[in-house]
Amino acid sequence: MHTPFTSGLRVKLGMVAVGCVAFASHAAAGWYLTLEPGYTKVNLAPKEAQVRAEVGEGGLQNRELNDTSLGFSVGHRFGEWLAVEAGYVDLGDAEYAVTNAQSAGSLLVPGQQASGVYKSSSTAAFLGLDLRLPRWFDLTPFMKAGYLYWEQTARLTINDNNGARVTALDADGEAAYLGAGVSWQVSAVGAIDFTYRRMTIGADLDAEMVGLGLVLEY
């Protein structure tokens, strides 16, 4: 027999069941692999003082600060919320075009002007934590934090009447990083992660990375 009370009770129980499914937690404990192509913006402004020490007050133009990136990582999830992951990322290249360099720089012949290019490539190895928040249907917000070791290979090439001169301005170091994003669970063992990371690394490297991670859980 259906009454307004029993019908209302069924509706309320149905809403509770839907809510429980909607806020279900992320995948259970286990290992996972992530391949993450992405897009990187590298801020070379901290390098300007070092470059200008070599080229004087010449112009630094045509800055190509954006490039594709590629990273991979392996992680282990402890329960449904917390994971530890380690990986490696190639942040791509960034460069300055140097125009009308003055003779103040140590690379230049007095009285001459020159042009050239400053180009750097950056990589990082990282170890960090991944914290999963309550899932909403198939989407799971997450936060990341960790520690990384980075290397930057940089070359400043100056061309003047006496030919080309190349000087190395390499750097490396350690720093923390932070990230956040959302994961879409496409199957029982697969997910797609959209991740933003911020890497502020002293005076030598300042980078932002947006990645689309392909995750395999096993």
| Residue range 178-191, pLDDT digits in tens | 999 999 989 888 99
Residues facing residue 33 across a β-bridge: 74, 216
Is beta strand 139-160 parallel, antiparallel or unpaired with respect to 190-201? unpaired
Helix (H) or strand (E) holding 24: none
Cα dihedral 173, 174, 176, 181 in deg (nearest 10):
70
CA distance 155 to 43: 16
Each residue's pLDDT expressed in tens, for the chain with a length of 218 residues: 544 434 443 333 233 333 333 334 455 689 999 999 998 887 666 566 666 666 655 555 555 567 889 999 999 999 889 999 999 999 888 777 776 666 555 555 665 666 778 788 888 999 999 999 998 888 999 999 999 898 888 888 877 777 777 888 888 888 889 999 999 989 888 999 999 998 865 555 677 889 999 999 98
- Per the confidence metrics, is the pTM higher than 0.75? no
Residue 192: in which H helix or E strand, if any? strand 190-201
Q: Which residues share a beta bridge with 84?
A: 76, 129
